[in-house]
């Protein structure tokens, strides 16, 4: 009875461990490397917008410029994370 459970447990570990390590590695790369780069670029874009005249800056804030910049960078980050996740989950690597 226990031999069957050990065999099933070993099969599960052999199947799930590489996928789990790929997910953890993708998350680590995302948090350590990609997120600070996007934050830096977003801060540069916002700093460039702060050099505009007060009326233009007020109009951009009224139109939701800051929210739009945040949404664009979040969407780009999400798309990159999805591509990395698909590549990590693929058996032969990503394209």
Q: Taking the CA of residue 87 as centre, how many other CA atoms within 13 Å lie in the half-sphere pointing to its CB?
A: 11
Number of domains in the chain: 1
Q: Residue 63 domain-assigned?
A: yes
Q: Which residue would you say has higher pLDDT here, 59 or 91?
A: 59
CA dist., res. 28 & res. 52, Å (int): 37
Q: Residue 94 domain-assigned?
A: no
- The mean predicted confidence, pLDDT, of the chain is 84
- Determine the pLDDT at residue 62: 93
Q: Residue 69 domain-assigned?
A: yes
pLDDT of 30 over the 80 cut: no
Task: Determine the average pLDDT of the residues in 21-33.
Answer: 81
Full residue range of the structural domain in which residue 72 is found: 16-89
pTM over 0.75: no
- Determine the pLDDT at residue 92: 54
Q: Do 84 and 26 meet the contact criterion of CB atoms below 8 Å apart?
A: yes
Q: Residue 26 domain-assigned?
A: yes
Task: Determine the average pLDDT of the residues in 28-56.
Answer: 87
Rounded alpha-carbon distances, angstroms, from residue 34 to 15, 28, 37, 45, 78: 28, 9, 5, 17, 11
Q: Residue 1 domain-assigned?
A: no
């Amino acid at each position: 009875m226990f031999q069957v459970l050990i065999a099933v447990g070993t099969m599960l570990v052999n199947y799930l461990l590489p996928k789990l390590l790929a997910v953890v590695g993708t998350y680590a790369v995302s948090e350590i490397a990609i997120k600070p780069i996007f934050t830096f670029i977003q801060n540069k874009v916002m700093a460039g917008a702060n050099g505009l005249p007060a009326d233009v800056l007020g109009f951009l804030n009224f139109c939701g410029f800051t929210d739009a910049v945040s949404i664009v960078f979040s969407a780009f980050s999400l798309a990159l994370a999805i591509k990395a996740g698909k590549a990590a989950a693929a058996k032969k690597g990503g394209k």
